[in-house]
């Protein structure tokens, strides 16, 4: 299956729009693992095993592994997910953005070294920074569009004077991803749960592409507003929660606590969908 088929199948099988972000910070690990960067794999694998039947995707954030010199543990984790949760797609959160041969190497890193099903990208350098990823059949890419951080508006909310209709930058990007840039049919957009009005605008401009929506949980995004703004029968949403699930418990039962937090979030998302 290609990425969107895998995502759709996982969404239906697990009745879930929830993505668990894997952002391992050893300083926040449970007591028996705390501060040990060599136990990142153990921590994340336990979270995966506890939540695999509750999610539509996993999203490991590469920086949390690289900062701990734990790329080898990320490779092991990717293999663990392939073996133990093969039905759940993996989105590598890398936010790469470069051109030419460098972009080709980043694409190779994401799809060949780590075996991700999709990757997050920064589109600031234009389509030729995205195109190398589209050469991989069936692989997905989510382009940063209207991000959850306050500073995102510094550029994303600027108006393009020379574009037809003078759209905001993030609106223009949504139109490109719905249209000419989506040459392999596997592109999506990243929009933050902290800005539901912008989610709704992006969805209006890009009615069929998947939206990866971070910001629910520790960042305070409203679940009901997020689902109402972004979910459509024609366009899936992937709602990410990281810290609120990973660090739901600080003791030996941390994986069970993570499962309970994931189950609660999934139920809130589904309840919100039922009201749309």
- Work out whether strand 57-60 and strand 91-96 pair parallel, antiparallel, or are unpaired: unpaired
Verify whether residue 139 is a known catalytic residue: no
Residue 191's SS3 state is strand
56: which strand partners?
Answer: none
User: Is there a contact between 98 and 126 (Cβ–Cβ < 8 Å)?
Assistant: no
Retrieve residue 55's tokens: 């999610």
Rounded CA-CA distance 152/23 in Å is 21
User: Is there a contact between 142 and 191 (Cβ–Cβ < 8 Å)?
Assistant: no
CB atoms within 10 A of CB 227: 26
**DSSP structure string for 253-275:** THHHHHHHHHHHHHHHHHHHHHT
Rounded CA-CA distance 34/44 in Å is 13
Catalytic residue among 76, 95, 228, 243: 95
Torsion of CA 63, 138, 172, 193, to 10 degrees: -50
First to last CA, the chain: 29
**For the chain, give me the number of helices (H) and strands (E)?**
12, 8
Retrieve residue 81's tokens: 């997910």
- Catalytic residue numbers read 95
């Amino acid at each position: 299956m290609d990425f969107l088929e895998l995502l759709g199948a996982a969404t239906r099988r697990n009745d879930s729009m929830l993505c668990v972000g894997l952002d391992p910070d050893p300083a926040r690990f449970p007591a028996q693992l705390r501060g040990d960067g060599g136990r990142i794999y153990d921590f994340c694998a336990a979270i995966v095993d506890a939540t695999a039947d509750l999610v539509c995707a996993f999203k490991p954030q590469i920086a949390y592994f690289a900062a701990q010199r734990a790329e080898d543990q990320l490779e092991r984790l990717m293999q663990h997910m392939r073996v133990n949760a093969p039905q759940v797609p993996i989105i590598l959160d890398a936010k790469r953005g470069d051109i030419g041969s460098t972009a080709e190497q980043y694409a190779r890193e994401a799809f060949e070294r780590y075996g991700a099903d999709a990757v997050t990208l920064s589109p600031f350098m234009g389509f030729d920074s995205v195109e190398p990823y589209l050469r991989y059949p069936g692989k997905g890419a989510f382009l940063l569009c209207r991000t959850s951080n306050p500073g995102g508006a510094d550029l994303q909310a600027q108006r393009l004077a020379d574009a037809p209709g003078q759209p905001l930058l993030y609106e223009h990007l949504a139109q490109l991803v719905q249209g000419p840039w989506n040459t392999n049919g596997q592109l999506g957009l990243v929009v933050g749960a902290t800005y539901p009005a912008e989610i709704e605008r992006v969805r209006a401009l890009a009615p069929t592409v998947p939206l990866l929506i971070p910001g629910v949980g520790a960042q305070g995004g409203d679940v009901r507003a997020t689902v109402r703004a972004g979910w459509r029968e024609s366009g899936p949403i992937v709602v990410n929660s990281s810290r609120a699930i990973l660090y739901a418990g600080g003791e030996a039962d941390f994986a069970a606590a993570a499962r309970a937090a994931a189950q609660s979030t999934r139920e809130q998302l589904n309840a919100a969908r039922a009201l749309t």
